[in-house]
Amino acid sequence: MKIVVFVSQTLDTEARVAVSSSGDSVATDDVKWILNPYDEFAVEEAIQTKEKLGGEVIVVSAGPARGIDAIRQALAMGADSGVHIKDDGFAETDNYTIAKIVASEIKKIDGVDFVLTGMKIIDDESVQVGIQLAEELGLPHVSLVSKVVEVDASKLVCQKEIDGGSVVVEVPLPALITCPDAMNEPRYASLPNIMKAKKKPVNEVTLDDIDFDTLGISRDAVGKSGSKVTTVKIEVPVIDRKLKIIKGSDDTTVKGEEIAQAVQELVQLLRDDAKVL
């Protein structure tokens, strides 16, 4: 089974997020770059599938030079080889253009059976590239897969969550799925495996290697000026809340009779101050 996982490197959003001096992007001076958390679930699922059915896992990522770290992490988890489409201009590029470029490298590989992506990137959160990759590759897709029920050489049965329920679907392979968290437990890469990952093959590709004519787009499509939508401004929202915290007399939890008082005070605040009752 030939399995492809698309991964991206993302800014660690657990940390503080600040606006850059240009005002239209997020500052990246002192940030930590990580493998997109949702992509970790995709990599784990790919490796588990390989362990069950045999075959190989290929990781593909488009991004600047530092993006190699995300690929190496996936290799350390157990993927076999990588493709790194290296360019600094992807940040403001149209989602479908990114999908076209990364897909073009997969079209060169014969006999891909199963393709996985994360459900979204936690920095830009565009929530588009995964499904658009399926479109570009001409594959059916199942998004937000919560559990792979069964997979063999010819088909995939999986559960996905929908508003108001859940559904089990069957799709013939090759197909693409997008992965949320909690579908599996991503493994930690052990030190020996991190060392081994450094020797696994990564094919480095530049935009010069991309056949834009076949993709039906021009090279100028890469970057801000070629995008159908552009970010013109970034703001950091301030959390502006009333912060009326009712605590007990010892400055911790309310106890005993304080509970009824606290509840009455809260209800009164909701009625008269917030006016939401």
Ligand X SMILES: Nc1ncnc2c1ncn2[C@@H]1O[C@H](COP(=O)(O)O)[C@@H](O)[C@H]1O
Ligand Y SMILES: Cc1cc2nc3c(=O)[nH]c(=O)nc-3n(C[C@H](O)[C@H](O)[C@H](O)COP(=O)(O)OP(=O)(O)OC[C@H]3O[C@@H](n4cnc5c(N)ncnc54)[C@H](O)[C@@H]3O)c2cc1C
| Exposure on the CB side of residue 249, measured as CA atoms within 13 A | 6
CB closest to ligand X, residue no: 118
Query: Would you say 138 and 127 are in contact if contact means Cβ atoms under 8 Å apart?
Result: no
Contact with another protein (CB under 8 A) among 163, 211, 213, 220: 163
Contact with another protein (CB under 8 A) among 106, 175, 189, 222: 175
Contact with ligand X (CB under 6 A) among 7, 46, 177, 221: 7
Helix (H) or strand (E) holding 42: helix 37-53
Nearer to ligand Y, 122 or 173 (CB): 122
Q: Is 12 in the site for ligand Y (CB under 6 A)?
A: no
Nearer to ligand Y, 147 or 200 (CB): 147
Q: Which stretch binds ligand X (CB under 6 A): 13-21, 56-64, 144-152, 202-210?
A: 56-64
**Hey, which bits of 56-181 come out as E strands?**
56-63, 81-86, 114-118, 141-142, 145-151, 155-162, 165-172, 175-179
Q: Is 127 in the site for ligand X (CB under 6 A)?
A: yes
Rounded to the nearest whole angstrom, what is the least distance from the CB of residue 272 to ligand X in the complex?
43
User: Across the strands, what pairs with 60?
Assistant: 6, 83
Closest CA to 72 of 85, 86, 84: 84
Contact with ligand X (CB under 6 A) among 25, 48, 128, 231: 128
Query: Would you say 168 and 149 are in contact if contact means Cβ atoms under 8 Å apart?
Result: yes
Contact with ligand Y (CB under 6 A) among 17, 27, 37, 126: 37
204: left (phi over 0), alpha (psi -120 to 50) or beta: beta
Query: Would you say 68 and 84 are in contact if contact means Cβ atoms under 8 Å apart?
Result: yes
Q: Is 248 in the site for ligand Y (CB under 6 A)?
A: no
Q: Please report, as ranges, the residues that interact with ligand X according to CB under 6 A.
A: 6-8, 36, 38-39, 60-63, 90, 95, 98, 102, 117-118, 120-121, 124-130
Q: Please report, as ranges, the residues that interact with ligand Y according to CB under 6 A.
A: 37-38, 181
